[in-house]
Homo-oligomer: A and B are copies of this chain.
Amino acid sequence: MLCETNKELDELVEEARKYTKDGQVADYIPALGKADPYDLSIAINYPDGRCVSAGDVQKRFTLQSTSKVISLALVLMDRGYDEVFEHVGMEPTGDPFNSIAKLEKMTPAKPLNPMINAGALVVTHMIKGNSVQERFDRLLSFIQQLANDASIGFSEEIAQSELETADLNRALCYFLKQHNRLNEEVEDLLNLYTKQCAIEMNCLHLARIGMVFAMDGMDPITSKQLMPKEVARICKTFMVTCGMYNASGEFAIKVGIPAKSGVAGGIMGAVPGKFGIGIFGPALDDKGNSIAGMKLLEMLSNDYQLSMF
């Protein structure tokens, strides 16, 4: 994919990069800890095919939580609105993404939304297919279509590492299983989920996927409707209400666009009707969002009046 560098964007990136020093790369698995904390890149993809970028946009990173919004889209297509929301709620939580406490308080136990880990696990559980492999292949293929790049794969090293350090997600799974929210083997689900999180791309891809969400599920360049408009709408809504962990409210005020972050440092943004954004900046703030990426989006939103509100 061609993408022109852009001087204005370059200046914003250099300004935002200063904030990387206040953040830290995720270190709960060694492979993530190897990222360069000073990295920061951005791509913006327009419906007419234009693309502008700044920073080293070829660097690949894993999707991590950013994948949650894509698996949700797939599952909404696989299962429909009613079945999905029978098993996962629609409300922001105000708690950390890996919290189990609120799940315990609810009767029946139902994850509050698909963006926290408990909810994302339930969503991934609902991906259709006869085997973990088949379900993963369907998800990966969907992502390749969204990014318009069949070369996208996943990092076996990171998937394996995450599987070995996934005890908190195991705890969530067994808790959900006890409450009849899962009916597959926990290790199968975790195998699928960690592969999903380990899907690798660069910020050009992420910007392209963001554009598809921004354009109501249509890829205007290929003229393919990759997901129904309603599915894109639901996903964008969750990106606003709970896309940035428990800083989502603040992000909505300060930036005001649908976005979803991941702990590898990626942020996918979708400015409705306008363009998609892909950011990579692995130094994270204390909520788990790319610290310089957040700042960059705030500057962009202020300068170009991107807020939907």
Measured between beta carbons, the chain B residues less than 8 angstroms from A112 are: 94, 249
- Interface: A150 (CB within 8 A): no
Q: Are B174 and A236 closer than 8 Å at their CB atoms?
A: no
Task: For the complex, count residues of A whose C-beta is within 8 A of B.
Answer: 47
Q: Is the interface of A mostly helix, strand, loop or mixed?
A: helix
- Chain B, residue nearest A93 (CB): B94
The smallest C-beta distance from A307 to any residue of chain B, in angstroms, reads 6
How many copies of this chain?
Answer: 4
- Interface: A101 (CB within 8 A): yes
- Interface: A250 (CB within 8 A): yes
Candidates B93, B101, B172, B247; contact of A171 at CB < 8 Å: B172
Which of A237-245, A261-269, A288-296 contacts its partner? A237-245
In the assembly, what is the distance between CA of A168 and CA of B171, in Å?
A: 8
- Interface: A221 (CB within 8 A): no
Q: Are A174 and B167 closer than 8 Å at their CB atoms?
A: yes
Which of A121-129, A202-210, A251-259 contacts its partner? A251-259
- Interface: A234 (CB within 8 A): yes
Measured between beta carbons, the chain B residues less than 8 angstroms from A248 are: 91-92, 241
Q: Are A309 and B233 closer than 8 Å at their CB atoms?
A: yes
- Interface: A146 (CB within 8 A): no
Candidates B102, B172, B236, B249; contact of A241 at CB < 8 Å: B249
A residues engaging B (CB < 8 A)?
A: 89-95, 99-102, 104-105, 112-113, 167-168, 170-175, 177-178, 186, 233-234, 236-238, 240-242, 246-250, 252-253, 256, 258, 272, 307-309
9 extra interface residue pairs, beta carbon distance < 8 Å, beyond A167-B175, A170-B174 = A91-B246, A94-B102, A99-B104, A233-B256, A233-B307, A234-B309, A237-B252, A237-B253, A237-B307
